Amino acid sequence: QQPVQSPQAVILREGEDAVINCSSSKALYSVHWYRQKHGEAPVFLMILLKGGEQKGHEKISASFNEKKQQSSLYLTASQLSYSGTYFCGTERANPAGTALIFGKGTTLSVSS
Amino acid sequence: GAGVSQSPSNKVTEKGKDVELRCDPISGHTALYWYRQSLGQGLEFLIYFQGNSAPDKSGLPSDRFSAERTGGSVSTLTIQRTQQEDSAVYLCASSLGFGTGVGGSYEQYFGPGTRLTVT
């Protein structure tokens, strides 16, 4: 039931792009994305809802393919501040009223 | 308050002792969540509250773990007879609501966590 994130780790130079994927074996209602910097609490980035509504974050975008139960997070022109671990959290479509289940995370390291 | 607060920030306890971890959510947030994060691991869901009730306790690892929430605000996570494998960072989060009928599509605000070390 835990979503699978890939890749596990990404190393970038400033200005490069990255894509982080999240997939589930269950039908999903929504996908949430959070970023956690070392030693800090996770911080909300984005929610993608079934039906296409997206609540976003500046300079970071995402997609949600409901049929494939997959979401991708796109980080373009990466900055040093993008470094951290990215978690996707999935909310199942059935049964309703279930809590988020988070993946194991993708660690992103951006260097100058 | 300004954000979610948790206490203590660090707790070292001996194996077999009981511990209580506290979470103060953002004022007005009706939903409250507890997660556990072991070194290098993801966010393991433990339990959530909607108001004072806990509709989903499925993530609690064993009957040594329990949680309560009073007054729709403060929550306490209790671990009895602690074991070394309980060592982790325990994170609390709150959200404005819990999406009527379809689940938690509200963003969660996380506290700084309590680092528990069982020796």
C-beta atoms of B42 and A89 within 8 A: no
C-beta atoms of B56 and A43 within 8 A: no
Q: What is the mean pLDDT of residues A30-48?
A: 91
Which of A62, A36, A54, A24 has the alpha carbon at shortest distance from B35?
A: A36
Strand partners, B118: B13
Q: What is the mean pLDDT of residues A88-101?
A: 76
Q: Is B93 buried (19+), middle (13-18) or exposed (0-12) by CB count in 10 A?
A: buried
B chain contacts of residue A34, beta-carbon cutoff 8 Å? 108, 110
For residue B52, the one-letter residue type is N
B85 phi, psi to nearest 5 deg: -70, -5
Residue A9 or residue A47, greater confidence: A9
Q: Give the model's pLDDT for residue A51.
A: 66
Altogether, the residues listed in chain B come to a count of: 119
Residue keyed to tokens 């996707």: A88
Q: What is the DSSP string of B82-108?
A: --GGG-EEEEEEEES---TTT---S--
Residue A16 or residue A96, greater confidence: A16
C-beta atoms of B91 and A87 within 8 A: no
Q: Give the model's pLDDT for residue B107.
A: 84
**What residues of chain B have any CB closer than 8 angstroms to a CB in chain A?**
4, 33, 35, 41-45, 48, 55-56, 59, 91, 93, 98-99, 101-105, 107-113
Calculate the average pLDDT of chain A. 88
Q: How confident is the model at residue A73 (pLDDT cuts 50, 70, 90)?
A: very high
pLDDT digit string (tens) for A7-16?
A: 999 999 999 9
Q: Is B74 buried (19+), middle (13-18) or exposed (0-12) by CB count in 10 A?
A: middle
Chain A interface test: which of B4, B90, B105 (most A C-beta within 10 Å): B105
**What residues of chain A have any CB closer than 8 angstroms to a CB in chain B?**
2, 29-30, 32, 34, 40-44, 47, 49, 55, 87, 89, 91-93, 96-105
Q: Check whether A97 has a pLDDT greater than 80.
A: no
Q: Give the model's pLDDT for residue A30.
A: 86
Chain B interface test: which of A5, A38, A44 (most B C-beta within 10 Å): A44
**Residues B97 and B106: beta-carbon distance below 8 Å:** yes
Q: What is the share, in percent, of chain A residues with pLDDT greater than 70?
A: 88
Which of B27, B23, B21 has the alpha carbon at shortest distance from B1?
A: B27
Which uninterrupted H or E stretch holds B116?
strand B114-118
pLDDT digit string (tens) for B66-77?
A: 999 998 899 999
**Residues B6 and B94: beta-carbon distance below 8 Å:** no
Q: Give the model's pLDDT for residue A66.
A: 86
CA distance linking residue B40 with residue B25, whole number of Å: 26
Q: What does the CA dihedral B46, A92, B43, B49 come to, rounded to 10 degrees?
A: -30
SS3 per residue for chain A: CCCEEECCEEEEECCCCEEEEEECCCCEEEEEEEEECCCCCCEEEEEEECCCCEECECCEEEEEECCCCEEEEEECCCCHHHCEEEEEEEEECCCCCCCCEECCCEEEEEEC
Residues in chain B predicted with pLDDT less than 70, given as ranges, are 1, 99-104
